[in-house]
Structure 1
Amino acid sequence: MDIRGKAALVTGAASGLGRATAERLIEDGAHVVLVDLPTSDGELVAKQLGDRARFVAADVTDSEQVAAAVSAATELGELRALVHCAGRGGPVRVVERDGTPGSLEAFEGVIRTNLIGTFNVLRHAAAAMVALPDLPDGERGACVLTASVAAWEGQIGQLPYAASKAGVVGMTIVAARDLARNHVRVCTIAPGLFDTPILARVPEDVRDRLAASVPHPARLGEAGEFASLAAHVLSNPMLNGETIRLDGAIRMAPR
């Protein structure tokens, strides 16, 4: 799919993987709606990215807010692309160290953002895509979701995060099959250890140890590498229903 002149929706776009993806799609000629929380730097980032960027504040779990963001994207052009990067973590154990049951509220919160939020964004964006005519290559749109290597190798304390990302992986092939009749593709990227604002808060010595744990290249991933893969997925019509690990061959240890 040629994204030039088309509209794209990128969530979590005020920083990290989402911002890098928005930058890449704008470079590739797309008009991009950046979606992030009202408390984010989304407005500033949109100004920095130029005339083909627009910020819409939204919580990905809010149906009306996401619908408004999709509507804003359709005002910029035909909405042909979604890259959903928004998500969150939060430590929960089955039984905490003090012997109390793990927090159901904390578990539900992460699941709501990462899994329910993914479905909410996907359903609204896909509904706009299926209403469009086919492009010359026979496509109507493509969606890229974000999981994590934690979907397979979640570490101790990552219970809700791992469960939510495993849910996104499980959703991918089903969504692709569901939307195939409408010529809309769905793929997922599962990043490993990436240099994002979350990891920026980690002490330098810990970051160094994390980087050294990646077999090759022995460093943290760069947001631009995620964006490059997302752009390729959008452009390659045979990529559908697949979850792609982007992790330098890492397999996470229990802790």
Structure 2
Amino acid sequence: MQIDGLRTILVGGASGFARATAERIAAGGGKVAILDRESSDGAAVAEGLGGTWHPTDVLDFEGIEVVIGEAVEALGGLDVAVNTAGGGAAGRTLSRSGPFDLDAFRSVIDLNLVGTFNTNRLCAAHMSDNEPNEDDERGVLINTASIAAFEGQIGQVAYTAAKAGIAGMTLTMARDLGSLGIRVNTIAPSLFATGLTAGVSDEMAANLVKDSAFPKRLGRPDEYARLAIAMIENPMLNGDTIRLDAGTRFAPR
């Protein structure tokens, strides 16, 4: 798919990975709809990019269906959805205080895995109404896992399970949607300068990335965006989870 004229929903678009992706799409002539929490900077981001702002909560599984519908109407259709909303809760399966809290585990699964699947199924339904382009494509879904999906550290059991679920459903979803001309890919980043790590000191950042092969630094949100753009533009990228990690392999802790 070409970026010029692209109609894109970005879940978590007020900051980090999705914001950087929105900036590249808008710069290339695409249209963006920013979906994020009411308390975020989504309104200002959308205004700066000439896009539309749609406050939502990915945990409002029914309400987000309405919001996505409004975003699609504002865009005049939907070609691409980028999903970056997520988070974790630290804790071991069993610690001195007892077993990991089951409600906390479920909340992480809901936020990351169920929220991603729900957004995908709803966006895919809108994409299915598109006329196919010259490559017979109707849409592209891009999701966000983590290298923790493959080598989660001690205390990341809930986050690892959630992100592994996103990576695990990628190929199956691509097969489910292949007959409709909708592609599905996932990006699995390592440590990036987003969220809690955005403002860490140089000394702490150096310690965090000491096991990276190269470059030995935190990733930049625009580097995620560059991979997302490649996934959009290259029709042969489908059903893949691509690590974006500078050769990092997490140690147990």
Shorter-chain TM range is over 0.9
User: Does 2:96 align with 1:101?
Assistant: no
- The structure 2 residue matched to 1:193, chosen from 191, 195, 202, is 191
1:124 — aligned with what? 122
Matches within 5 A, 1:231-246: 231-246=229-244
Deviation for aligned residue 1:136: 2.0
- Between stretches 139-148 and 99-108, larger displacement belongs to 99-108
CA distance in 2, matches of 1:64, 1:131: 21
Partner residue of 1:45?
A: 45
Mapped partners of 1:193, 1:21: distance in 2: 17
Paired with 2:61 and 2:186, the residues of 1 have a C-alpha distance of 22
Query: 1:202 Cα shift?
Result: 4.2
Query: 3-state DSSP class of the match of 2:26?
Result: helix
Once residues 250 and 81 of structure 1 are traced to their aligned partners in structure 2, the CA distance between those partners, rounded to angstroms, is 29
> Cα distance, 1:112 vs. partner?
0.4
Q: CA RMSD in A?
A: 1.3
Question: In the alignment, which residue of structure 2 is the partner of 1:28?
Answer: 28
Asked if the contact 1:8/1:31 (under 8 Å) is kept, the reply is yes
Task: After superposition, give the CA deviation of every residue in 1:45-89 in whole Å (9 maximum; x if it has no partner).
Answer: 21222x2x1111111132333222322332212200011011111
Structure 1: 4+ residue segments shifted above 6 A: none
Contact 2:54 2:71 in 1 (8 A): no
- Counterpart of 1:221? 219
2:159 is aligned to 161
Q: Aligned AA for 2:176? A: D
Aligned equivalent of 2:15: 15
> 1:6/1:73 Cα in 2 relative to 1: closer, same or farther (>3 Å)?
farther
Instruction: Return the offset for 1:28.
Output: 1.8
What TM-score, normalized by structure 2, do the two folds share?
0.95
Match of 1:208 in 2: 206
CA distance in 1, matches of 2:71, 2:236: 25
Aligned-partner residue type, residue 76 of structure 2: G
- Cα deviation for residue 201 of structure 1 reads 5.0
**Other structure's SS at 2:79 match:** strand
What is the match of residue 83 of structure 1?
82
The answer (yes or no) to whether the contact 1:154–1:162 under 8 Å persists in 2 is yes
SS at match of 1:181: helix
Q: CA deviation at 1:211?
A: 2.7
Provide, for residues 154-175 of structure 1, a one-character-per-residue CA deviation record: whole Å limited to 9, x for no partner.
Answer: 0111111000000001110000
C-alpha displacement of 1:205 = 2.6
The amino acid that maps onto 1:28 is G
Aligned residues: 252
Q: Is the 8 A contact 2:89 2:159 kept in 1?
A: yes
- 2 CA distance for matches of 1:101 and 1:89? 17
Cα distance, 1:203 vs structure 2: 5.0
Q: Is the 8 A contact 2:142 2:185 kept in 1?
A: yes
Rounded to whole Å, the distance in 1 between the matches of 2:25 and 2:164 is 27
2:35 is aligned with what amino acid? V
